[in-house]
Chains A and B, each alone.
Chain A
Amino acid sequence: MSDVSRDTMLLTTPFHSRVEAMCDLNDWGNWMGYTTPNAYFDVELEYFAVRSTTGVFDLSPMNKYRVTGPDAQRYLDRLITRDVSKIGVDRVGYAIWCDDNGQVMDDGTIFRLGEQDYRICSYQRADDWLAWNTLGFDVTIENESEAVAGLAVQGPTSCTVLTLLGCTDLNQLKPFGIAHYSFEGRPLMVSRTGFTGDLGYEVWVPPESAEALWDQLFELGRDYLIKPIGSHALELARIEAGFLQANVDFMPAEEVVRVGRTRSPFELGLGWLVDFKKPLFNGRSALLKEQEKGSRYRFAMLDVEGNKPAEHSFILRGNKQVGTVTSAAWCPTAKANIAYAQIEMPHGAVGDELVAEIYYQRELHWTRLLAPCKVIDTPIFKSPKRWQTPAPPH
């Protein structure tokens, strides 16, 4: 007998009919309460679409919060650790936000849509924290997650494809810039942002436009080898490009039960997002203290010898365990074996040589491998295309 309470079933995104039609593998996952494809046809080929042609990822389940009102900028300034005033109109800023103890709750992007008009786009839900933060500010927060559909269009040919769609002069759009167009009589917004480290855009439309957008995009992009990509391929791209993910590389502070399991921006290698010269923000005094006293952990990107991904590995120095791996992957473009790790201070400085204790199995046979690894200072994959303006044609 079916469980009849359908009002709590997983939601589908506005692109679902199209996504489903292209999901050859019928391999689905639950992302933020939405039915989303893990893979469409082949994880590795999807990944290569991002790196050499164009990959399209449905990011409608991302949480979107509209922040408006006379205090919108002041509100955001108190919320996030970087200086909001430096984000111009029609610009996007990557940001993190902390609790009062200076522990990271989530990261996300802040879209400045007008003078006092912003959109926060975050991986985690933030209704509760954003609402508490309104105390003392003349600001309105609207959860517009369901009102905005989004596609990440990423890869070397993405600019060309979107230009064909009618996004004129898109190649002039700088990284983290926003451009506005219309699509079939409705607004279409493009931001030069993404989670892949490559040239790429995120396209935002009202849900009513979603299916037509998908159709036209794939029609116009056919010659530019456009492909849909699922969560697994994106995961590979983001690790290669050096992006962190909540619940994987750190625990959102408000969900942590055990003492000591939260992380500060400094401990995640995100100290560059903390600006002590800007107005008051949540976590400021705790972070100042941490800066003075030193952090407990260090975020390290590791180049691991060999080709076995160091997933869930312990990181050793000599016989001593000094850290654990949070994300790891063999990076097909960089041809490198990369891992992100949380390393106890004072270990893990750039250049440090450590050992990853890797367990892997082949045909039910488990092998323990002690792989030397080295702390590197930047993501292994760095595409110059990501930063070039005008955007290169392919």
Chain B
Amino acid sequence: MTDYDAIIIGAGHNGLICASYLAKAGKHVLVLDARNEPGGCASTREFAPGHHVSDCAQWLSQFDQGIVKDLDLKAAGLKLGKSKTTISLQSDGDHLVLDGDTISGAGVDSADQAAYRDFKNMVRSFAKLMTTLYRSRPPKLVEQNWTDRLTLMKLGLSLKLLGRERLRDLMRIVMINIYDVMNEHFSHAALKSAIALDAVTGTNMGPRSPNTVYSYLHRATGEHLGQSGTTQVLGGMGAFGQSLATAAEKCGAKIRLGSAVTAIVKTEERVTGVTLDSGEQISAKLVISSADPATTFRRLLGYHQMEAGMAMRVECYRSRSGTAKLHLALSGLPSFTGLSEGQLTERLVITPSMDGMETALNPMKYRELSDLHTFDINIPTLEDPELAPEGQHSLTAIVHYVPYEPDIGWEAGKPQLLSQLVSELEAYAPGIGALVTASELVVPSDFEASHGMTGGSWHHGELSIDQALMMRPFPGSTQYATAVEGLYLCGAGAHPGGGLQGLPGRNAAKEILKRGAL
């Protein structure tokens, strides 16, 4: 007899979702997490006295609404803010506003407006197709069983329904870069870069890297997953994590926080449980890891417990991201040139031109700091004043093109980069520097240390086609099962990847139940 049916490593959103579905099916599930709060990357932290920020992920934009319903997350306390429009800040104060299918400002002409609608329609139809694939386990292509065949048939049908022209468009663009697609569709430079931003954030790529259309489409699945736009979670992302934990417990899952798994226990045949940092051993029929593949296989299981070819696969799996977080505590509300106070609550983005973004990528490749960055900004305290002391505000920004480990080291690099970033912000929000009472720069290696994400990769591994879909995380360990008996994956390192969709956790649970693995 084992202590549990399943142990889930990591109380991040995917771990909790997987646990909930399994517990709902009557399974005896334990979720373990090293951190003291549930949610993993969906976390809130007080980074300066009285200033609480979503210190890792900051937006919810593509969370599967089926999961919200299935787990009744609203009852569990999940409160989303309003759906935000995206405002791409321009240095002259005439900003570009992207709201649903319409764009305005910054001198966009009607041709680009029409092109934008067409583009959104095209993206929508492709994203719909991807959603079909995203909501099921990735099909095997040769060793197919009926489930796989059904998925492939559904996919085939969806492809057919796209129509011949759209299908041909898809065949052409799915593996190319966002840079070319933007140039094919639009003439407005700021519009192109505002869209390209979504293709590169969280990755190790620039707009000219092939496969960035895929990463863009990945983000565009949000609409089909039932989420109508980018939102902040009231109470910070930690509240999202908390609601998932509440739901999981309501389903009957047990959650133990502050309990770091140090090893996955395995006999010659199969995984049998885990060891905690306290030395305690807990057994289970299955261990399901929501940690990233490198952490799961290299650190927790250990290369010596798998066959060498698999160890090679893990070692060659790429998980590095060039994305950092900037947190600023502000003594008052900053003012951005050309933005009304009301607009400050929207999603504000700052991007160089697409060429500038590509140039910004270069130093990152050579472990150097860049002097250009992209910003994806939220001032959460406007919608959610409780996150800061009265009258004060916080600003959080996802900053892209930050190297994992600069040659000069982070001790010297961080202050340098921090002042660089604040000065880049100053160009759009003059005087913001004077409002800063505390600041924090969280670089990829910090995420690795605090949230256990190898390489700081939000996607738990580069979301490039060669590491996506049926290949995710790597051949031999697909469909949530791994080459190691009894060990499953349910995190973003499994299909369909990261971005707070909740699908890896949900799909993994469904797959495990369907297989009768429990």
Contact for B302 among A100, A133, A136, A279, CB less than 8 A: A136
Residue contact B310 to A100, C-beta cutoff 8 Å: yes
Give the CA-CA distance A285 to B483 in the complex, in Å.
9
Whether, in the assembled complex, A243 has its beta carbon less than 8 Å from a beta carbon of chain B, the answer is no
**A-chain residues with CB within 8 Å of residue B258 when the two chains form the complex:** none
Residue of A nearest to B303 (CB): A136
**A-chain residues with CB within 8 Å of residue B304 when the two chains form the complex:** 71, 74, 78, 136-137
Within 8 A of B (CB), among A333-364: none
**A-chain residues with CB within 8 Å of residue B476 when the two chains form the complex:** 100
Within 8 A of B (CB), among A100-135: 100-101, 129, 132-133, 135
**B-chain residues with CB within 8 Å of residue A284 when the two chains form the complex:** 268, 307
Task: Say what secondary structure dominates the interface of chain B.
Answer: helix
Within 8 A of A (CB), among B283-334: 298, 302-312, 315
Whether, in the assembled complex, B180 has its beta carbon less than 8 Å from a beta carbon of chain A, the answer is no
Q: A100-B476, A279-B268 are in contact. Are A285 and B311 (CB under 8 A)?
A: no
Residue contact A132 to B305, C-beta cutoff 8 Å: no
Q: Report the minimum CB–CB distance from B293 to chain A (whole Å).
A: 14
Whether, in the assembled complex, A283 has its beta carbon less than 8 Å from a beta carbon of chain B, the answer is yes
Residue contact B311 to A135, C-beta cutoff 8 Å: yes
Residue of A nearest to B311 (CB): A135
Whether, in the assembled complex, A280 has its beta carbon less than 8 Å from a beta carbon of chain B, the answer is yes
Residue of B nearest to A100 (CB): B309
Whether, in the assembled complex, A282 has its beta carbon less than 8 Å from a beta carbon of chain B, the answer is yes
Residue contact A282 to B308, C-beta cutoff 8 Å: yes
Give the CA-CA distance A133 to B302 in the complex, in Å.
12
Give the CA-CA distance A101 to B303 in the complex, in Å.
17
Whether, in the assembled complex, B485 has its beta carbon less than 8 Å from a beta carbon of chain A, the answer is yes
**A-chain residues with CB within 8 Å of residue B485 when the two chains form the complex:** 285
**B-chain residues with CB within 8 Å of residue A283 when the two chains form the complex:** 307
Residue contact B308 to A129, C-beta cutoff 8 Å: yes
Contact for B305 among A71, A79, A99, A280, CB less than 8 A: A280
Give the CA-CA distance A282 to B302 in the complex, in Å.
15
Residue contact A78 to B268, C-beta cutoff 8 Å: no
Residue contact B307 to A280, C-beta cutoff 8 Å: yes
Q: Report the minimum CB–CB distance from B494 to chain A (whole Å).
A: 20
Q: A71-B304, A280-B268 are in contact. Are A136 and B309 (CB under 8 A)?
A: no
Give the CA-CA distance A136 to B315 in the complex, in Å.
11
Give the CA-CA distance A35 to B149 in the complex, in Å.
56
Residue contact B309 to A99, C-beta cutoff 8 Å: yes
Within 8 A of A (CB), among B470-493: 476, 483, 485
Residue of B nearest to A277 (CB): B268
**A-chain residues with CB within 8 Å of residue B312 when the two chains form the complex:** 132, 135
Give the CA-CA distance A110 to B307 in the complex, in Å.
20
Q: Report the minimum CB–CB distance from A87 to chain B (whole Å).
A: 19
Give the CA-CA distance A78 to B309 in the complex, in Å.
11
Give the CA-CA distance A273 to B302 in the complex, in Å.
26
Give the CA-CA distance A132 to B311 in the complex, in Å.
8
Residue contact A78 to B483, C-beta cutoff 8 Å: no
Contact for A100 among B298, B307, B315, CB less than 8 A: B307
Give the CA-CA distance A101 to B476 in the complex, in Å.
10
**A-chain residues with CB within 8 Å of residue B309 when the two chains form the complex:** 99-101, 282
Residue of B nearest to A129 (CB): B308
Q: Report the minimum CB–CB distance from A316 to chain B (whole Å).
A: 32
Residue of A nearest to B268 (CB): A280
Residue of B nearest to A278 (CB): B268
Q: Report the minimum CB–CB distance from B470 to chain A (whole Å).
A: 18
Residue of A nearest to B313 (CB): A100
Q: Report the minimum CB–CB distance from B349 to chain A (whole Å).
A: 41
**A-chain residues with CB within 8 Å of residue B483 when the two chains form the complex:** 100, 285
Give the CA-CA distance A129 to B311 in the complex, in Å.
11
Give the CA-CA distance A359 to B153 in the complex, in Å.
52
Q: Report the minimum CB–CB distance from B316 to chain A (whole Å).
A: 10
Residue contact B307 to A79, C-beta cutoff 8 Å: no
**A-chain residues with CB within 8 Å of residue B268 when the two chains form the complex:** 279-280, 284
**A-chain residues with CB within 8 Å of residue B315 when the two chains form the complex:** 132, 135
Q: Report the minimum CB–CB distance from A72 to chain B (whole Å).
A: 12
B 247-271 to A, binary, CB cutoff 8 A, 1 in contact else 0: 0000000000000000000001000
**B-chain residues with CB within 8 Å of residue A281 when the two chains form the complex:** 307
The 6 closest A-B pairs by CB, nearest first: A136-B303, A100-B309, A136-B304, A135-B303, A100-B307, A135-B311
**What are 28 inter-chain pairs, A to B, with CB distance below 8 A?**
A71-B304, A78-B304, A78-B308, A79-B308, A99-B308, A100-B307, A100-B308, A100-B310, A101-B309, A132-B312, A135-B312, A135-B315, A136-B298, A136-B302, A136-B303, A136-B304, A136-B305, A136-B311, A280-B305, A280-B306, A280-B307, A281-B307, A282-B307, A282-B308, A282-B309, A284-B268, A284-B307, A285-B485
Additional A-B contacts beyond A135-B312, A280-B306 (15; CB < 8 A): A71-B304, A78-B308, A100-B309, A100-B310, A100-B476, A101-B309, A129-B308, A133-B308, A136-B298, A136-B304, A136-B305, A280-B305, A282-B307, A284-B268, A285-B485
Query: Which residues does A use to contact B, with CB under 8 Å?
Result: 71, 74, 78-79, 99-101, 129, 132-133, 135-137, 279-285
